[in-house]
Amino acid sequence: MNSIDKEQEIQTPTRRKIAKKITINTALTQYEIITKLSQSLGWRSRSIENEDDDSDIIWTDCAVQPERLCKMRPYQKINHFPNMHEIARKNYLAKNLNKMHKLYPEDFNFYPKTWLYPAEFPSLKSTNTTKKIYIVKPEASCQGKGIFLTKTLEGFEENERYVIQEYIKNPLLIDGLKFDMRIYVLIAGCDPLKVFLHKEGLGRFATEAYTSPNSKNLSNSCMHLTNYAINKNNDNFVFNSDSKADNVGHKRSLTATLKKIKDLGFDTEKIWKEISEIIVKTLCTIQPSLAHVYRACQPDDPYNGMCFEVLGFDIILDDIGKPWLLEVNHSPSFNIDSPLDFKIKFQVLREALILLNLTSDNKREYEERKKKQILLRTLAHNKEQEKENKKNDFKNAQLRRSNWESSHMGDFSLIFPSTNPIFDTFLKTSQRILLESTGRRLVNKDNRPQSQDCGIKNLNPFKKSPQNQPRKSDLAVFQRLYKIKKVKVEPGPIPPCIQLDEAFRTTYFKSQTPYSFIELVVPKKTTEKVRNKSIPKKRISMYHQHIEDIFKEKRFGERMTSFGNPRTINVYETPLQIYSVITDDSQIQDSQKTRFYKQIMLKKLF
């Protein structure tokens, strides 16, 4: 036996690294389909009710609070977004849609007219007519609980809050039955917003033949409501027993329902496109709120993928084929009461989880990225470089994510980001509404070139000239009075007293609000050029001489002493001098004008 054979005998076979299985925490869900789904994907499921759990994915049936998201690690995922109640609750959905409808009435006309009780009940009664039928829903209910139809706007319980909508009296019927469609939508990210629409869903049918609402059938919920939880208890309900026969019974597949609609003569491709736009417009109303909370909880997540959510949009069609949004469910039912239920819901959830690209390497990549950031921060101490590295990590992460999603969509289709520019307008408007509701101001960036900006700044007499610069106290009072942002230059000196007269004539009688904004123009400082650098002469008019005579009076000194500032004023036409002239009752005979001047000067000066 030679030496080569001995070496081969001594060598031991190398062990392959066993890939760690993805773990999913199912402690907070009641649906068996989640456990079956994890088994089909080769994941390991466990049930631990602990916020410090390090499972790769956490599935819960309840809403997620921001505190829970803050405690999660960046490689973990959870199946809800904080603040999704902004569209999942009926009252919040109505508020957000009504705000956008006021600004874009033609674009946000895809939901029935909605009022909130009791806040908007007086406005509803003022527009009520005897021909209208209303559907009343508790603001925080589900599965059709507490819903009723009314014509007289009566029967409301005390200390209860409702959402009142105009009832759609002309719904599209299939086999003489009213129906709606449950559309499944995956929100894969909120900053930027990423929305996928699944082509499969459910068609839910009522169990009583539909007739126009009247006083006799208003209480028949199995005729007017399509909720599965209500109609399944009716004797006429037909359960689906074969997943392949998805076009029979009172719960059918979405594809079979759309095929039936197409047989009735409607353009289903156009209807599907309109449904996609409804979904995106609805999500645009809350995207700024979702992104704000998400970035506050997880500012360093480059993948924008710690949260995801499968929403259920309920859509109904009228007799001309127009889709109407009824409500949005942030926790749609994943019970499997029939083979068709299991087939559709299993497919939707499985393809959604595949799109998320959950791997056991996510934890290792996070730890390596964290070590690299700490090393660069320790050695470089360069904040600009650190910001640039974060931007590059975000771009690379989004690129890898987009490449994965484009090849693993299944029956999902990406509906946002979109090439339609109107959605960007809706997002900006929602951002402005959010800032106004929180009391913040939207900062408008100055897009002018630097040379133009510098040219305007040089016109300010309080900059670039330290020898003529007044004291800080005088400058602060001066700027508060004149609201200086960009100094305007006039060819000649115009006293502020005259400007106040003009403002009184043009502004006060139009708006009748003495606190309206008045932009005073700072007069250009005029001097006479002389060879020997003598003191500049003032150009004093008859009006100015009259004001200076007033300043020399004893009464002016007494007024200054009462204001707590007995010093002699040498600066020509300071705000205090103007105020003293205005408050002198002997100078202005008109009492209304005097009151107007006093209110403006006191507000801006003190």
Select the more confidently predicted residue: 553 or 516. Answer: 553
- pTM of model > 0.75: no
- Is the model's pLDDT at 469 over the cut of 70? no
- Is the model's pLDDT at 556 over the cut of 60? no
Residues 322, 151: Cα–Cα separation, whole Å: 24
pLDDT at residue 159 in the model = 79
pLDDT at residue 253 in the model = 95
Residues 170, 327: Cα–Cα separation, whole Å: 18
pLDDT at residue 500 in the model = 56
- Is the model's pLDDT at 138 over the cut of 70? yes
pLDDT at residue 566 in the model = 41
- Is the model's pLDDT at 465 over the cut of 60? no
pLDDT at residue 448 in the model = 38
User: Tokens 């759309």 appear where?
Assistant: 258
User: Tokens 């209500």 appear where?
Assistant: 230
CA 520 to chain centre: 37
- Annotate 291-322 with b (16+ C-beta within 10 A) or e (fewer): bbbbeebbeebbbbbbbbbbbbbbbbbeeebe
Question: Which one, of 452, 516, 458, lies nearest residue 487 by Cα?
Answer: 458
Helix (H, G, I), strand (E, B) or coil at 190: strand
pLDDT by residue (tens digit) across 382-434? 677 777 777 888 888 888 889 999 999 999 999 999 999 999 999 999 999 99
Domain spans of the chain, in order of start: 85-111+171-332+411-436, 465-605
pLDDT by residue (tens digit) across 358-377? 887 877 887 787 777 777 76
pLDDT at residue 12 in the model = 45
pLDDT by residue (tens digit) across 241-260? 888 889 999 999 999 999 99
**CB neighbours of residue 588 within 10 Å:** 17
pLDDT by residue (tens digit) across 50-83? 777 889 999 999 999 999 999 998 889 999 999 9
- Is the model's pLDDT at 455 over the cut of 60? no
Q: What is the mean pLDDT of residues 126-145?
A: 83
CATH topology for the 85-111+171-332+411-436 domain: D-amino Acid Aminotransferase; Chain A, domain 1 (3.30.470)
Q: In the structure, what pLDDT confidence band is assigned to residue 10 with cuts at 50, 70 and 90?
A: very low
Q: Give residues with Cβ within 8 angstroms of 405, minimum separation 6.
A: 188, 355, 357, 414
DSSP-H helix ranges across 442-518: 450-457, 472-482, 496-503, 509-511
Q: What is the mean pLDDT of residues 126-154?
A: 84
Residues 270, 226: Cα–Cα separation, whole Å: 24
pLDDT by residue (tens digit) across 516-547? 444 444 444 445 444 454 545 444 444 444 44
pLDDT at residue 358 in the model = 87
Q: CA-CA distances (angstroms) from residue 422 to 107, 268, 281?
A: 10, 23, 9
Percentage of the chain exceeding pLDDT 90: 46
Helix (H, G, I), strand (E, B) or coil at 317: strand
Q: At what angle do helices 254-263 and 268-284 cross, to 10 degrees?
A: 130
pLDDT at residue 506 in the model = 56
Q: Give residues with Cβ within 8 angstroms of 334, minimum separation 6.
A: 31, 33, 34, 345, 349
pLDDT by residue (tens digit) across 164-178? 999 999 999 999 999
pLDDT at residue 580 in the model = 62
Q: What is the mean pLDDT of residues 319-327?
A: 95
- Is the model's pLDDT at 441 over the cut of 80? no
pLDDT by residue (tens digit) across 30-56? 999 999 999 999 999 998 887 778 899
DSSP-H helix ranges across 247-338: 254-263, 268-284, 287-297
pLDDT at residue 445 in the model = 45
The amino acid at residue 125 is K
What are the phi and psi torsion angles at 205 (to 5°)?
-115, 145
Q: In the structure, what pLDDT confidence band is assigned to residue 472 with cuts at 50, 70 and 90?
A: very low
Percentage of the chain exceeding pLDDT 70: 68
Q: In the structure, what pLDDT confidence band is assigned to residue 504 with cuts at 50, 70 and 90?
A: low
**CB neighbours of residue 42 within 10 Å:** 9
* Mean pLDDT over each residue of the chain, to the nearest integer: 78
**CB neighbours of residue 111 within 10 Å:** 20
Q: Range with the lowest mean pLDDT among 111-115, 119-123, 492-496, 565-569?
A: 565-569
